[in-house]
Structure 1
């Protein structure tokens, strides 16, 4: 396998290697652990009554689960993308690419991304591009993958820690507005693991963004990854920033009524975490690290088996909770505990309302429980 010859190519392989290494570490508690679903023993329905289909603004997906953007642009990462694309095709779930910026700057690397569409010609594919790029770049990213949607990722924390990162953030909002207005496919704005606050979601809505992935902390930690890439250099250490940002559950709770349609990712370890995110208002949930490991270690077959297992368990958990579809999970009673409960108190969010949503006459919108 050829080694990448460009700095961005080496960075892609570094990201893959370091992200996979994080997956091998002992699991850490996340805010998903603070989301407790109240069990009502006679509320269950038959699994056959459950539909996984979900609506994300104007988009219709067969399941509330998608493979989130991870990688691409080198021989090594292209192999992973091939395995994930086959798994997405076999299971019928959407898939996002990693950032295609490297392919725009170095066209010889494009095959590592094109393989996603080649292996999944009829599937829902999202191209991914970093904020700060032009409208022309956004259009080229969509064309590269014949994409059904464009993810624009916000990564100020990552850029701050990245040795070669860009620290000029002031133009981002204006560039994003231009892309949203000009690109013909839906634009999905996402973070890269540090969360979208309620204030940010309101700003995005004002820019015309219809869908946002809150992508909170707790999963693949790009702060740690970029800081590890600083080792052995004279550059300052950013380890003190570890833990910075908001978790996906915190972002979903913080989301105001005028948010875009919400997706959630970041720290999703199991189908139960998917259920928790859906119960807090997400329309679908993105998974990266949990599907990366089987794709790296066992290829397309292992990744397909892993995703099929998640879909089966999602149906069974929804039946247990009496939810015939993903949206119905927003009527599930939820207890918010620990640091997440403290977060809701400090942000003026009525956590108690989540605990009694199944009561008759209750407003089931998870974004109308804010007291401020």
Structure 2
């Protein structure tokens, strides 16, 4: 039987994501700065932006990230999201499939992504509460290349119908990791990740993290909007994208991979995130807005322009590839510099030496 309340929630998420926009926190990247290289010794054709995520090769370091799914009414939106990713050669992740595997409904809204982008890199998405069998079902639904396990405790606490008991999540996530047939990405949904939790996940065998920092689409704010009587204090909760990336890069090893997401809307923010140690950049809110307001062709052009801008910024820093971009000099200002000092990160060392 179809859960109409779940379907309506998915539609509300789209409506309020567009209405509310990003924030109220920033992604923190405004406090990250490049130094101009007036002698780059590069031509655009020299620049290589290929990357690898959990052993999966990507021709561009971009991911149209999880935003919607789980109701037949968004099937066409997901088709257009897949078309946008395909035009740029980007990866794409679907929204949560948890409801679909629980109710055995609404598969079409997800299957359309693989149908539209048969040769693409597609990520499935499931709750950390799912059983291992449900997680594999989500993967099979899409012939997915990898599986995102999403973490959203702040969102759940704002939802009157949300979960309150998060005991046993780590053990369950470990069972999913051991059971599914594809790489697993642990994904926050807008409140960021700190080093302490990433270390715990690394100890369990997880190797890929989408930091999902504050500063982008704000699900606690969206849920508060859905329920006018719900307080909005948690709309300002979370760790922004820039500090989340610094925390992740500080504890991840050379074989681990990081996705930057949370309010990244242009080539400059993407370049900064990649310089801080990300292997790929996830975007969703800006792509969804383009599709809904201007159409898929505009969304495709928007993503292609972001990729072009990334190449130009790499040239202006003298960075031949993403590894070189991580070594280009940076400097930090404002609240981010204060964060670095409070958390024991050396801003001077970090300005020159970051993740290998």
TM range (shorter): over 0.9
CA change 1:89–1:275 in 2 (3 A) is: same
Match for residue 186 of structure 1?
183
- Structure 1 position 290 matched with structure 2 position 286: yes
Match for residue 7 of structure 2?
9
- Structure 1 position 251 matched with structure 2 position 240: no
1:41-80 equivalences in 2 (<5 Å): 41-43=38-40, 45-80=42-77
Match for residue 271 of structure 2?
275
Task: From 318, 338, 348, give the equivalent of 1:352.
Answer: 348
Look up the SS of the partner of 1:348 in the other structure. coil
Match for residue 162 of structure 2?
165
Following TM superposition, by how much is the alpha carbon of 1:304 offset from its aligned partner in structure 2, in angstroms? 1.2
Match for residue 309 of structure 2?
313
- Structure 1 position 177 matched with structure 2 position 198: no
Extract unaligned runs of 5+ from structure 2.
Answer: none
Following TM superposition, by how much is the alpha carbon of 1:125 offset from its aligned partner in structure 2, in angstroms? 0.2
The answer to whether the 8 A contact 2:34-2:331 is kept is yes
Following TM superposition, by how much is the alpha carbon of 1:328 offset from its aligned partner in structure 2, in angstroms? 1.2
Deviation track 1:196-219 (CA, whole Å, cap 9, x = no partner) reads 110111111111111111110000
CA change 1:50–1:11 in 2 (3 A) is: same
Q: CA RMSD in A?
A: 1.7
Distance 1:105 1:78 in 2: 19
The answer to whether the 8 A contact 1:154-1:192 is kept is yes
Deviation track 1:156-189 (CA, whole Å, cap 9, x = no partner) reads 1111111100011011101000011111100000
Aligned length: 352
TM-score between the two structures when normalised by the length of structure 1: 0.91
The answer to whether the 8 A contact 1:163-1:229 is kept is no
Distance 1:55 1:68 in 2: 16
Distance 2:261 2:354 in 1: 20
TM-score between the two structures when normalised by the length of structure 2: 0.95
Distance 1:338 1:44 in 2: 32
Following TM superposition, by how much is the alpha carbon of 1:129 offset from its aligned partner in structure 2, in angstroms? 0.8
Look up the SS of the partner of 2:209 in the other structure. strand
Look up the SS of the partner of 2:287 in the other structure. helix
The answer to whether the 8 A contact 1:80-1:299 is kept is no
Match for residue 366 of structure 1?
355
Task: From 94, 99, 102, give the equivalent of 2:99.
Answer: 102
CA change 1:38–1:354 in 2 (3 A) is: farther
Look up the SS of the partner of 2:326 in the other structure. helix
Look up the SS of the partner of 1:98 in the other structure. coil
Task: From 296, 299, 303, give the equivalent of 2:299.
Answer: 303
Distance 2:70 2:148 in 1: 17
Task: From 131, 134, 152, give the equivalent of 1:134.
Answer: 131
